[in-house]
Amino acid sequence: MFSAAKISPISKVRGKLSFQGDKSISHRAVMFASLAKGASTIHNPSSGEDVHSTIRIFKQLGCNIKEDTDYIRVVGRGFKHFEEPLTELYAGNSGTTARLMAGILVHQNFNSTLTGDDSLSRRPMFRISSPLAEMGAKINLFNNKTLPMHIAAVKKMRPIKYLLKIPSAQIKSAILISGLFVDEPSTVIEFAESRNHTELMLGLRVEKVPEGNLITVSRKNYPQSCNYLIPGDISSAAFFIVLALLLPDSELRIEGVSLNPTRSGFLKVLREMGADIEELNRRTYNNEVHGDLLVRSSELHNVAIPKDLIPNIIDEIPALTIAGLFSEGVFKITHAKELRVKECDRIAAMCSNLKLIGSDVEEYTEGYTFTGRKFDVPDDITFRTFYDHRIAMSFSILSFLLKDGAKIDNLACINISNPTFFTDIQKISG
C-alpha cells in the first residue's frame, strides 16, 4: 500500500529544462543495438523503469550492456546469436518491451516465456500473436489473450502482408522487427499513421498508397552497430508544457526534445487552442527531428480534435485533458478506445478523477467530454493514479494548479517513465 502525498500549489514556472531520452526511441535503440553485431553507444537514454525492463531482458539473452549516467554501451550478439535464457523474461510494466520483444523472440533457436506485472498481464497480447502466427510463429497466451506468452522455436518464418486493424505503433513495430529476420520482404499497411520511430531508425521504405502508408522490411534492413542520440521525451515534456501554459506570468524553454511529426500532434492541438509555443533550433540525428520549444502563459479555448489525429496524441491525451479543464468551451475526446487498454483504463481513470472536482464529465466507450472552467474543488481531495504514470503526472499537474493543491494516492508509478518529474518541477518553480 502507498500513503497519499500532498502536492502544494505553485504560482508560476520559469527557466529551462531538458528531458531524458524519449522512452519509445530508447526502447528501440536498445533493441537494435542488441540485435546488431558489435558495440553501439546510446546517448541520453531514458532511465525510466520501462526501458530498464528491455535492458534486463537483453542481458538475460547474453548481451553485454553497461549503463552510465548519460549513456548506455551495448555489445550486440548479431543475427540469431542470443543465448537461451535460464529463466522467464520479465517485462515489468512495459507493453513496448513485451510486444516488440515478441517479434524478436519468435525467430530464436530456443523456447522462451515473456511475463509482466499485474497491470501488463491484463493488457491484450493477441493483437501481436495473431500476425506473428501468420508468419509462422508458435505462441501460446494465457486464455489466448494475455501474458504469460510462451514462444516455441520454429525452423523458418515466412514474410507477411498485413493490414493493421488498429492504429498502433507497437503492433506495427512487432511485425516490422520480425520482418528483419526474413529474407523476403514483408509489408505492413497502416490506414492511420502512428509513431514511426521503427521505420526511421531502420531506414525502411514507406510509400503512400490508397489505403494509407505501406512499409516494407526484410533482412536487408537488419541493424548494424552505431551511435544513437536520443532526443528528449516529448511525452514527459507534455505535462510541463501544460503547466507553463496555464500558470500566469510563466515562460519555459524545453531543450533538445523530440519533434517527430508523428508525435507532435499534441503541440498542434495546443496551438489551435491558442497556446504560445515557439519552435527553435530544429535539427536531425538518426533520422529523428530534435529541437527546442519556448512556451509562454496563454489563454486557451477548447477546439474539435479530429479522429485521425488521435493515434498521434494517444499518450498525451491525459495531459491535454488538464489543459482542456482550464480552457473556454467544451473539451471532447472521441475514437480513443485504445485508452481503455493502456497501463489502466485511462478513460475511466480520467473521468473518475474529474468527477471528484465536480466536473460535468460524461464518459463514452471511446472517450469523454466536459465543459472547461466548470468545476468546484472540495476540501481535502485525493486523486487516484490507478498505478498509471500518466494519470499520476496529469493529476499532479492539476494539483499544482489548484488553489489549495491536492493529494495523490501513489506517486511511485511516475518512475516508470520520468524519475526526475518532481526534481524538474522544483527547478522551474523555485
Catalytic residues: 315
CB-based burial label for 184 (10 Å; 0-12, 13-18, 19+)? exposed
Cα 198 from chain centroid?
Answer: 13
DSSP-assigned states of every residue in 144-172: TTEEEEEEE--S-----EEE-SS--HHHH
Grid cell, residue 181, equals 529476420
The answer to whether 322 touches 398, Cβ cutoff 8 Å, is: yes
Q: For residue 340, report the phi and psi dihedrals to the nearest 5 degrees.
A: -70, -20
The answer to whether 355 touches 363, Cβ cutoff 8 Å, is: no
Grid cell, residue 367, equals 472517450
The answer to whether 139 touches 149, Cβ cutoff 8 Å, is: yes
**Buried/exposed 313-327: b ≥16 CB within 10 Å, e otherwise:** bbbbbbbbbbbbbbb
Peptide bond into 148 cis (omega under 30): yes
CA angle 52, 54, 56 (to 5 degrees): 65
112 half-sphere exposure, CB direction, 13 A CA radius: 26
